[in-house]
Chains A and B, each alone.
Chain A
Amino acid sequence: MRGISINNVKKAFFAVLALGLFSTAIAQEGHPIKGSWIGEWQGNPLGTSLLMVMNWDGKAITGIINPGTDNLEIKTATLNPADWSVHIEAGDYKLDGKFARLELPNRSISGTWTGGGKNGSFEIVRQ
């Protein structure tokens, strides 16, 4: 197996950074939950990084948490436009949050999560 050089790590880091900067500069004006979201859920023993990819098909919010080997399919997700609150269930996890900076492409959702006998706060920012 080939080793991973520091240079390659640097390249990957800056590529991801550039992609992130570029994507935040582009507005997305459709359904507010659609897109890729990156953030943290504090207190989760599996790791604090939280990546969510969500879509809107016209009837339901679909998506996935932490795409990869430990991914979780979103079972149900709802958005209440009366107060811009969000409820998401995936695996044993339940997340309840609210939108902030809704008018901006890099809007965020923050709130609390429960699952696996644990709980904590979370915040994700749309990329």
Chain B
Amino acid sequence: MKIRSVLPWSLGALALSVTAAAFAHHPLSAKFDSAKETTLTGIVTAVDWRNPHTHVFMNVTRGNTVENWAVELESPIILRQSGWAADSLKPGDQINVSGMLARNGTRQVWGENVTKGGTAVYTVSDARPAPSTEPTPRWPDGTVALGTTGGGQDGYWSFPSETVMVEDGVNVPMDKYGLLTNVNDAAKVAPLQPWALGIYKLRQERQLQDDPMFINCKPPGGPRQFQSELGVQLLEDKENARVFALVGSGNRNYNIIYMYDRQTGLVTGDDDNPLYYGRSNGHWEDGTLVVNTKGFNEDFWFSNGGLPHTDLLQLEQRFTRTSKGTMEYSVTVNDPGAYTRPWTASWTLQWVDGEEMPVHFCQNNRQ
């Protein structure tokens, strides 16, 4: 093959991969347009199996020309959970792809359906394993175990029943990233003050593309850490009276819940050095862990979908492990800077038994 004929393809693939990397981690709707669907048939040239999104590069022949396309898929973590591997597709395989086109007009498509020889490849099952109904694990002293009870066991909480925050009792259609089907429903989601409603609608109208968790690798502070597809781990340090909430998707950062009224030491107040996860104190109420948190900064989105908050935000989070497999979670949002009254949202988390929490790092921003 002549270099002259290879060069344009190589440059095209390079341009596609650079474009893909420059806008790599994102809510789906921020990058792809559900109103523009396409189908492609072509030959796989490469599989880029890396977080946060797998990419399959393919050549599509149209008449006498060959176009280079990038097919974007879920992360390797999620694909692996569905039984796929990096070599499930190989260069030279002929595939058919259907999915949404990129908003920016580049040759990128979200691979909703990828088939090889008529068989689906890299599909992700939304079906979750049935949660264990075994009794709630307890420590030797009888208190509820929030995670494992030691002894080298693995496990973490995942499969949130809701990945978006909406006030309890309200039913508003939106996708799993929090993008409203109809932006005019914004006022129903929570009791937003007028300015906060305006900001929420702006974020929605911009397809959530300004989410600092994606573009700046900001932590998923507040309740957002309990709506991550990649899970969260509650690690109890009983000797030091604290619980660590380890986040599966936020560069392995964590929140410390102090199980005593921590007013002394390095942390002296809420006005100095506000934090992404705030400052949390916890206590038990009849088998429910109650966590009160304040001292948040304003540099992150505390929910998928972009509900605003201010540094006046205070949370009361309640964790009730009703069985080995299920954690009931509720959060009451009290932010007089952004909402007209306190409001509550609830969902459940499911125990993933015997597995380590997946590791995902957001690096170099945007990636």
Contacts and interface: CB of A to CB of B under 8 A. Distances in A.
Given A56-B337, A57-B337, A103-B210, A30 B194 contact: no
Contact of A29 (B194, B299, B336): B299
Nearest to A28: B298
Main secondary structure of the interface of B (DSSP, over half): loop
A29 B300 contact: yes
Interface stretch (B18-26, B164-172, B223-231, B309-317): B309-317
A18 B219 CA distance: 25
Main secondary structure of the interface of A (DSSP, over half): loop
Nearest to B211: A29
Interface string A24-38: 001111111010000
A79 B194 CA distance: 9
Contacts of A57: 337
Nearest to B195: A81
B15 interface: no
Contacts of A100: none
A29 B195 contact: no
Contacts of A15: none
B242 interface: no
A58 interface: yes
A8 B217 CA distance: 37
A59 B336 CA distance: 8
A58 B210 CA distance: 24
Given A84-B198, A102-B202, A30 B210 contact: no
A30 B336 contact: no
Given A58-B337, A103-B206, A28 B312 contact: no
A28 B301 CA distance: 10
Contacts of B298: 28-30, 34
Contacts of B338: 30-31
Nearest to A103: B210
Contact of B308 (A29, A58, A79): A29
A30 B309 contact: yes
Contacts of B155: none
Interface residues of A, number: 18
B203 to A, nearest CB: 8
A109 to B, nearest CB: 14
A99 to B, nearest CB: 10
Nearest to A61: B195
B58 interface: no
Contact of A27 (B199, B212, B308): B212
Nearest to A102: B202
A59 B311 CA distance: 14
Contacts of A34: 298, 310
Interface in B298-355: 298-301, 308-312, 336-338
B299 A81 contact: no
A43 to B, nearest CB: 30
A81 B197 contact: yes
B45 interface: no
A79 B327 CA distance: 42
A26 B108 CA distance: 30
A84 B338 CA distance: 16
A58 B312 contact: yes
A6 B202 CA distance: 46
Nearest to A30: B298
17 contacts: A26-B299, A27-B218, A28-B298, A29-B212, A30-B309, A31-B310, A31-B337, A32-B195, A34-B298, A34-B310, A58-B312, A59-B336, A81-B194, A81-B195, A81-B197, A103-B203, A103-B210
Given A29-B298, A30-B310, A58-B312, 10 more contacts: A27-B218, A29-B308, A29-B309, A30-B298, A31-B337, A56-B337, A57-B337, A81-B197, A81-B199, A103-B202
Interface of A: 26-32, 34, 56-59, 79, 81-82, 84, 102-103
Question: What 3 A-B pairs have minimum CB-CB distances, sorted nearest first?
Answer: A81-B198, A30-B298, A58-B336
Interface of B: 194-195, 197-199, 202-203, 206, 210, 212, 216, 218, 298-301, 308-312, 336-338
